[in-house]
Amino acid sequence: MTLRRHKALYHIGATLLAVLIMMPFFWMISTSLKSRGALLALPIEWFPQAPTLDNYFRLFSLDGFSNSIFNSLVVSFFSVAVTLISSAMAAFAFSKLEFRGRNALFMVYLATMMIPSQVLFIPLYLLMSEFRLADSLISLILPTVFKAFAIFMLRQQMLSIPKAYMESPAIDGAGLWTTFIRIICPMCKPGFATLSVICFMDTWNDYLLPLVMLTTKTKFTMPIILNSLNGQYQSEYNLLMAGALMSMVPILLLYAAAQKYFVSGLQVGGIKG
Amino acid sequence: MKTRLMALLLVALLALTLAGCASDSPSPSPGNNNNNNNNNNQTPAAPPADEPITLRLEQFSGSGGNEDTLKEMLSKFNVIHPNITVELQTFGYDDYFTQLQTKVVGGNAADVFELNFENFVSYASEGVLLDIGGRIGDTSGFNQTALDAFNYQGRQYGVPNSFSNVVLIYNKDLFDRAGEAYPTSAWTWAEMLAAAKSIRALDSSIFGLYRPISFHEFYKGVRQNGGSLMTDDMRQFTVNLPQNAETLETMIGWVNDSNVMPNDAQMGGMGDWDLFVSGRLGMIVTGIWAFGHYTENCDFAWDIAVEPGNTGKATHFFSNAYVVNNETKHPEAAAALVAFLAGSREATSIRVAASWELPPVTYSDILDAYLAISPPANRSAVFESLNYLCTPPVVKQQSEMQDIIAKHLGNALSGSMSAQDALDACQQELEQKINLN
Amino acid sequence: MKRLKSKHSFISALPFLAPSLAGLILFSLIPILASLAISVTGWSGMSRVSLFNGFFAFVQTHFIGLTNYLDIFSDGEVWRVLSHNAYFIILYLPLMLLLSLLVASILHHKSRAAGKYRVMYYIPVLTSWVAGALIWKWLLSPEYGLVNNILAFFGVDGPLWLQSEVWAMPSIVLASVWKDMGFYGMILLAGLTGINPEYYDAADIDGANRWRKYTRVTLPMLSPILFYVIMLSLINAFQLFPQIMIMTKNGDAGPNGATMVMVERIYKYAFRYGRMGYAAAYSWILFIVIFSFTALQNILQKRWVHYDS
C-alpha cells in the first residue's frame, strides 16, 4: 500500500517537474505556428486557432538561414573530432604515463578554465589574422584542439582503468601507441559519447566566438543568424520561435543517438573529481 | 592545493618571460600603426578608368527590403563605372559594430563601410578613416547640417547617405473624438499637453502622448527649453542646469502626474509603434521612417506636424554615413562610390521612390517627388522641421555617454530621486568617466 | 599529491601531448599574454594592430601603466557590478542545487519511466542560450507572455519581469535555473549511482528512516560531487553573460542597470564603448575574483566534504 502510494507520489512529482521544464518549449512551438495577428491577440491563444507553417517557410527563405545550419554542422562535426582525438591523447599522457612535471602541467591546463574567454577574443582574432585564417570556419575548429574540460573528463575515465592493462607487452615507443589505440580508447567509449554531445553542444551553441571570428555572411553559424533575426524582427516572436526550434533539431537528434552511453560517461567523468 | 598554487605561479612566471620575449621583437613595419596618418592624400591620382577594380561595401542600414534598393543604386553606379565591381555585404544592426571593430583591428575592414553618428567620432579620431573631402566633388547640394555631422576636426571623413528627422505624428480620429484642433507648427508643450489630456480622458486604455524619456528625446527636450547638455565648444558637461531639471520634471510629469503617456506597466511589453497602430495613442514623437509602417498598418486617418517646443523649437535627426577605409587600395574609386550612393541624382531618386528615409540632399526636383507621396498629407512638415535641427553632444565615448545619461534619466523616472538629484549625479559620473580632450 | 617516480620520460609523453600543448600555447597562453599587455594600455580597440609585427611598439605607444586597474577601483562601479553577480549567485545557487538534487533523485529511482524523464529534463541543457533566452524573453512578456497569463489564471497580477528593476535579475535566474538544472542534475545522478549500496544496508540494519538515510548517508557520500558542482557552477555564474545580453535589451543592461554584471561590462567596454584596455583590465580583475573564490572553496571544503577512502 505505502509502496503504491510512494510510486504515485513519485510519478506526480516527476511529471510536474517535466511539465514545468517543457512548458517553455510548448510555448515556443505554439508561437511558431501563429500568424502575426494571433501573436498579439488578447486573451492569448494557448494553441493557435489557425496554425500556419508560414514562419518556417519565411525562415528558410531568409538570406543565410539554411546556409548557417550547414556551417554550424561542419564546425561542430570537425570540432568534436579534433577535440576527441587531441583530448584523448592528452588524457592518456596525464593518466597512464608517469613523467616528471606531469601534475604541474596538468594544473596549468586546468587553470586556463578560470580565465574569462571574452577577453581573449580580440587577441585570438589577431592571431588568426596573422595566419590568414580569420573569417574561416577553420578559425573556429582549430582552438578546440585544446579543451581543458574534455581532457579532465577523459583523464578521470582513464584513471579508472586498472593499471594492469598498461603493464602488458612492451611499454616503449610504438608499444604506447598500440596500448592507447587498441586497449585504452575502446574502453572509453562512454566517455567519448558523452564528450561528443557536450562538445557538439558547446560549438553548436557558441555565439560570441563565431560573432567575432566570422565576418562574411555566408560563413555565419546558426546562433549568429538567430540573434541577428532578433535584432531585425524584434517583436516577431512567431518567426524567432520557429528559428529557435530549428536550431535545436540537430542537437536533439545527436542526443537521441548518444543517449544510452550518456549517463555512464558522465558518471566516470564526474565521480572522481 | 600547494601544487595548484605553484602551478599558477608558474603560469604567471611563464607569462612574464614570454612577455619579455615578445617585447624584444623587431620594431614596427610600415603600414602598421597608422594612427592619425593622412598620407593617403599623397597617393597618386586615380588609376586608369578601365582598370578593373573590386571594392567591398559593408553596411547595415540597407537590410531587409532596402537591400534591393541599394542593389538598384549599385547597378546604376556600374553604368558610370563599368570597371568597378562592388561586393555588397549587409549585416544586422546589433552585430554590425562588434564585427566592424574586429575587422578594423585585424586590418580586414571593407573599402567602404557604414557608420552611424554615435560611432563616427570614435573611428574618425582613431585615424581609421580616409579624409575624402577633396575626392567627392561638389558638396553644395547636400544638407549642410547632415554633412557637417560627419566632419571631424575639419576633415570630411564621411558622407551621409540617409537622413531622417523626428516629427509629431497624430491620430486624427482621436483628435476628432476628443473635439481638439489638430496640432500646428505653432504648438508648444502647453497645447500638446492640453490636447493629450482630453484624449487621455476618452478611455482608460487610450493615451495622449508617447515621447520616451530617452537620451535623444532628452537632449532635444532641453534644447526646446533653452538648456543644453554641453557647452557649445563641447569641452564641458552642463547636464544639471536648472532648465534641464525643469525639462526632465515636465517629461516625467507626462508619465507620472497627468499620465497622458503610458508607463512601463501600462505598455505591458507592447512597442510604442504598436500602441499607435492599435489606435490607442493620440500623438507620438517619432522618426519619419515610421511613415511606411503606419501607411500600411493604420486603419485610421493620421497626419504629422512639426514637433512642439517650449521656449524654443528644436528637432533632432538620425543619420548614417558611408566612410572609406584608410587602408583601401583604391581611394579614388571608393570615394566615387560614396559620393554616388549618397548624393547623386540617380541614387537619391531611387531612395525617394522606395521611401527609404530622406536623401541628405537639397535638389528640389527630388524633394518634390518626396512631398508628392501621401499620407501624411502635411509632408512638408518634414522639411519645416529641418529648420530647427539641433546636433547631439558629440564625444569620443559616445555610446558610453548615452548609456550613462539614459541610466540617470531612468532613476528620475522611477521616482527613486528627484530630477535635479538625478542630473547632479549624472553630471558627476560624466565628468568622471567621459574624457573630453 | 605524491611525487611521481618518472617511469616514462617527458619525450615519450610528448607526442601524446603535442596537439593539446600546441593549442594551449597558441590559443590560450599567447592570447592571455596579449590581453595582459593590452590591459596596461589605453587602447580603444578600434585601430589596426598586428600581433607579430610591432606589437611591442604598439603597447609602448599606448602604455598607461596600471591606470586602468586604478580607475576601475576608484570608480566604484565595479562593486555594484560585483554585487549584481553576488545577488545572482545567492538566488541561483540554492535554487539550482535543490532542483538538480531533485532531478537526480527522480532519475535515480528505479522506474521504467525514468528514461523518459531523463530525456525531458535534459532538453533545456541542449538548447542554445540564444534560443533559450529568446524563448524566456517571450515567456516573460508582461502582457502576451505565458507566465503572466498563467499567473492571471490564479488571480495573481504578474510583475513586469525584465522591464522591472526589482524583477529583472530574478527573471535571469529563473531562465538560468531552467537551463542548468538538467546538467548539474545529471552530474549528481552519476554521484548517486556511485554510492556503495552497502552503506544503505548498514543504515537499514540500524533502522534508519528515509530522511535519516538521506541526510546521514546520501548527502555525505555525495559531498565530493556536490563540491564539484558548486565549484563549476560558481565559475560559470561569475561568467554569466549570453542570457543577459539577449534577454535585456542590448545597450541598457536592464532597468537602471539592474542586470549589469562583470562579463556584460567587459563586453560593453570592449565592443561598445571603445575602451579595450579598460575591458582587458576588467577581465583580469574578474579572473582574480574567480580564482580567489576557487581557492577559498578549496580551503573550506575540508570542513564538509567527505572523501570515501
Which of A116, A172, A241 lies at the smallest CB-CB distance from C266?
A116
Inter-chain residue contact B18 with C33, CB threshold 8 Å: yes
CA-CA distance, B148 to B167, in Å (whole number)? 22
Decide if pLDDT at A30 tops 60: yes
Cβ pairs bridging A and C (under 8 Å): 287
- Chain B residues contacting A via beta carbons under 8 Å: 3-4, 6-8, 10-11, 63-64, 89-95, 98-99, 102-103, 105-108, 270-271, 274
Residue B238 lies in a domain: yes
* Residue of C4, C17, C39 to mutate for A, most A C-beta atoms under 10 A: C17
B305 and B411 housed in the same domain: yes
Residue B381 lies in a domain: no
Inter-chain residue contact C57 with B265, CB threshold 8 Å: no
* Residue of C3, C25, C47, C165 to mutate for B, most B C-beta atoms under 10 A: C47
Residue B82 lies in a domain: yes
With 0-12 / 13-18 / 19 or more C-beta atoms within 10 angstroms meaning exposed / middle / buried, residue C250 is middle
Residue B28 lies in a domain: no
User: Which percentage of chain C shows pLDDT scores above 70?
Assistant: 96
Minimal Cα–Cα distance from A42 to chain B, Å? 12
pLDDT value of position A271 = 39
Which of B4, B63, B106 lies at the smallest CB-CB distance from A232?
B63
Cβ pairs bridging B and C (under 8 Å): 132
Is residue A64 very low, low, confident or very high in pLDDT (cuts 50, 70, 90)? confident
Domain boundary (B376, B407, B424) is at B376
Taking 70 as the pLDDT cut, the residues of chain B under it are 1-49, 64-65, 268-269
B130 and B249 housed in the same domain: no
pLDDT value of position B98 = 86
Chains that touch C (3 or more CB pairs under 8 A): A, B
Decide if pLDDT at A270 tops 80: no
Say if C160 is an interface residue toward chain B (CB within 8 Å): yes
* Residue of A212, A214, A215 to mutate for B, most B C-beta atoms under 10 A: A215
> Taking the CA of residue B369 as centre, how many other CA atoms within 13 Å lie in the half-sphere pointing to its CB?
17
User: What is the average pLDDT across C32-38?
Assistant: 93
DSSP β-bridge partners for residue B30: none
User: What is the average pLDDT across A160-168?
Assistant: 72
Inter-chain residue contact C6 with A263, CB threshold 8 Å: no
pLDDT value of position B43 = 39
**CATH number of the domain where residue B123 is located:** 3.40.190.10
pLDDT value of position A192 = 87
- Write down the pTM of the prediction: 0.85
Chains that touch B (3 or more CB pairs under 8 A): A, C
B196 and B334 housed in the same domain: no
Which of A103, A122, A211 lies at the smallest CB-CB distance from B105?
A122
B152 and B264 housed in the same domain: no
User: What is the average pLDDT across A35-44?
Assistant: 76
* Contact residues, B window 406-425, toward C, CB-based 8 Å cutoff: 406-407, 410-411, 414, 416
B235 and B354 housed in the same domain: no
Residue B310 lies in a domain: yes
Inter-chain residue contact B264 with C145, CB threshold 8 Å: no
Domains along the sequence of chain A with CATH: 62-271 (1.10.3720.10)
Inter-chain residue contact A112 with C287, CB threshold 8 Å: no
Q: Are C137 and C129 in contact (CB under 8 A)?
A: no
Q: The domain containing residue B366 runs over which residues? A: 53-163+319-376
Number of domains in chain B: 2
B71 and B118 housed in the same domain: yes
Residue B376: is the preceding peptide bond cis (ω within 30°)? yes
B267 and B173 housed in the same domain: yes
Q: Which residue has the higher pLDDT, A119 or C104?
A: C104
Which of C26, C30, C287 lies at the smallest CB-CB distance from A115?
C287
Q: Are A148 and C63 in contact (CB under 8 A)?
A: no
Which of A116, A173, A245 lies at the smallest CB-CB distance from C287?
A116
CA-CA distance, C283 to C13, in Å (whole number)? 34
B202 and B329 housed in the same domain: no
B155 and B182 housed in the same domain: no
B416 and B313 housed in the same domain: yes
CB contacts, 8 Å: A150 with chain C: none
CA-CA distance, C252 to C231, in Å (whole number)? 30
CB contacts, 8 Å: B10 with chain A: 104, 108
Inter-chain residue contact C17 with A10, CB threshold 8 Å: no
What's phi and psi for C41, nearest 5 deg?
Answer: -120, 165
CB contacts, 8 Å: A240 with chain C: 134, 138
Minimal Cα–Cα distance from C106 to chain A, Å? 6
pLDDT tens-digit map of C81-100: 999 999 999 999 999 999 99
Inter-chain residue contact B25 with C56, CB threshold 8 Å: yes
CA-CA distance, C269 to C276, in Å (whole number)? 6
pLDDT value of position B8 = 42
SS (H, E, C) chain C: CCCCCCCCCHHHHHHHHHHHHHHHHHHHHHHHHHHHHHCCECCCCCCCCCCCCCHHHHHHHHECCCHHHHHHHHHCHHHHHHHHHHHHHHHHHHHHHHHHHHHHHHHHCCCCCHHHHHHHHHHHHHCCHHHHHHHHHHHCCCCCCHHHHHHHHCCCCCCCHHHCCCCHHHHHHHHHHHHHHHHHHHHHHHHHHCCCHHHHHHHHHCCCCHHHHHHHHHHHHHHHHHHHHHHHHHHHHHCCCHHHHHHCCCCCCCHHHCCCCHHHHHHHHHHCCCCHHHHHHHHHHHHHHHHHHHHHHHHHHHHHCCCCC
pLDDT tens-digit map of C204-216: 888 878 888 888 8
Residue B372 lies in a domain: yes
Residue B429 lies in a domain: yes
Domains along the sequence of chain C with CATH: 79-277 (1.10.3720.10)
User: What is the average pLDDT across C268-292?
Assistant: 90
* Contact residues, A window 105-144, toward C, CB-based 8 Å cutoff: 105, 108-109, 112-120, 122-124, 126-127, 129-130, 142-144
B135 and B62 housed in the same domain: yes
pLDDT tens-digit map of C229-274: 898 888 889 888 888 988 886 456 777 788 999 999 998 898 888 8
Chains that touch A (3 or more CB pairs under 8 A): B, C
Residue B382 lies in a domain: no
With 0-12 / 13-18 / 19 or more C-beta atoms within 10 angstroms meaning exposed / middle / buried, residue B24 is exposed
Domain boundary (B354, B376, B398) is at B376
B311 and B200 housed in the same domain: yes
CB contacts, 8 Å: A87 with chain C: 20
Q: For A214, which residue in chain B has the nearest alpha carbon?
A: B99
* Residue of A7, A119, A141 to mutate for C, most C C-beta atoms under 10 A: A119
